[in-house]
Amino acid sequence: MKNLVRKQKVIEERRFGGETVQVTKTKWETSDANTARRKAHDRLDHVLDLIAGKKEITATEKSAQEWDQFKEKNKLQDSLKGGTGLLAKRDFLERTDHRRFEIERDARNAERAKRDAEGK
C-alpha cells in the first residue's frame, strides 16, 4: 500500500488553439519502493517531451483545468462537497415546494368539503 507523503503541483506547457498554455496538475509524491524507478521514468518522459515538442491539449482537458483553477481561486472546494452543494440545495427546494403544494391541496380539499357539507 502506498503512503501519501505530500501533494506536488506540476506545471506543464501545452498547445491549445495555436497558443501555448500552462497546465497545472496536482500529483501525490509517495514513499513506496518504486519511487526511484518512477523518477527515472519521469526524467525519460521529460527528455522525450523535449524532443517531440509541446503536446496538444484537448478542449475537455483545458476546461477541466480552468474549472480547477476557478475552484481554487474562489475557494469553492468545500461548498461543492457533501450536503452543502448546489444539488443538495436544489433537492431541498424541491421538497419544500412539494410540501407547500400538499398543504395548499389539503386546504382546498377542506374548503371544498366544507362547501359540500353546507350545500346539502
CA separation for the pair 53, 82 (Å, rounded): 41
- The confidence band for 36, taking pLDDT boundaries of 50, 70 and 90, is low
Residue-number span of the structural domain to which 27 is assigned: 1-77
Closest Cα to residue 15, out of 52, 70, 67? 52
**Do both 43 and 61 map to the same domain?**
yes
pTM greater than 0.75 (yes/no): no
Over residues 60-105, the pLDDT tens digits come to: 888 888 888 888 888 777 666 655 677 888 889 999 999 999 999 9
Number of domains in the chain: 2
**Do both 16 and 61 map to the same domain?**
yes
**Do both 114 and 94 map to the same domain?**
yes
**Do both 73 and 83 map to the same domain?**
no
**Do both 65 and 103 map to the same domain?**
no
Can you tell me which residue has the cell 526511484?
A: 36
**Do both 3 and 50 map to the same domain?**
yes
**Do both 61 and 46 map to the same domain?**
yes
**Do both 84 and 67 map to the same domain?**
no
**Do both 72 and 83 map to the same domain?**
no
Residue 83 carries which DSSP code?
A: G
> Which of these three, 60, 77, 94, is where a domain ends?
77
